[in-house]
Structure 1
Amino acid sequence: MTVRLVLVSPAFSRALREARFDDGGPLEAAGLAAARAAADALPVADRLLASPSARCRETAAALGAAASDVGELAGLDVGRWRGRTLAEVSAAETEAVGAWLADPAAAPHGGESVGALCARAAAWLEGAATDGGRTLAVVEPEIVRALVLLALDAPASAFWRIDVPPLTATELSGRAGRWNLRAGRPL
């Protein structure tokens, strides 16, 4: 049975604009307006899901989707770095940031490693592959990255080499073990 999964990245928020680790803040007014304007670009779906973050829930609502929160689709837990900018953390913990960006198993912030996030996303996708039909999910950019790596059978070390702009759709189609990718379609 073929599964179609449309992953939509959230609209602009202050954290995204400032290169700040997500602090749970709301979308900016411009982000909300852009999401509302993109609502007609969404495909019809059998299931509507969202990462449990405020920016994903708000994006889904602005797109007109009454999405169910899915814990497995939560963004990367960055522990004590939450709410800080990458520049702040890099200045204070240069070696830790370097290790985190270079090693998918590293979690110097006390949160979750990129490797653990990729494993969590892969487990969710394996379960979703049995659902069939089309699923629309508004998810954090790191979830998109993890699922793209899985679809391409790419190593976790390539995680940071994938850019996921706001309000873009990345589509996976196929079934467990074999996925096709259509990346970065703007809404």
Structure 2
Amino acid sequence: MIFHETTLKDAWLIELEPRGDQRGFFARTMCKEEFAQHGLLNDFVQQNTSFSAQKGTLRGLHYQMQPHGEAKLVRCLRGAIVDIIVDVRADSPTFLQHQQFELTDSNRSQLYVPPGYAHGFQTLSNDVEVSYLVSAAYCPQAERGLRYDDERLQIDWPVPVTVLSEKDAHWPLIDEATKPLY
């Protein structure tokens, strides 16, 4: 794996290094030792998958409050997404900054999202499947989110939003959210 620092503190884009022959290829997607060498959490407790049928579907922006903060390792297995993360750690030099990444079944890149980041993605094609490892179990009482259209974040989603859950449509704006965010 090739680890690329992002502009956001503690977040990494990870490029796979496929080894191929006439059968196809093999690539490591997670290695406890390599993650530890980069200071990343490497104890994942669950793996999730999502399927979105329609281009423009938006999921997020989600995170969990401490002590249930979760790291995620996100990869698009089918189709294409724009993945957006927002640093919600008040003591971070990149607080409330966001960055976006295109994850596709052809580039096979994956995104390491550290605890203290809101995470969401929008599908850029139909029939998209995303898989992600998570370092903490889901805790409904700790679940929080940011509104995808919060003007304070200035996120430029690449395509019109076609599908959005009721919950994601009604997360509070940052100024209305209970402080602290994380």
Q: Same fold (TM over 0.5)?
A: no
The structure with the greater share of residues assigned to helix is 1
Under a length normalisation based on structure 2, what TM-score does the superposition of the two structures give?
Answer: 0.31
Under a length normalisation based on structure 1, what TM-score does the superposition of the two structures give?
Answer: 0.30
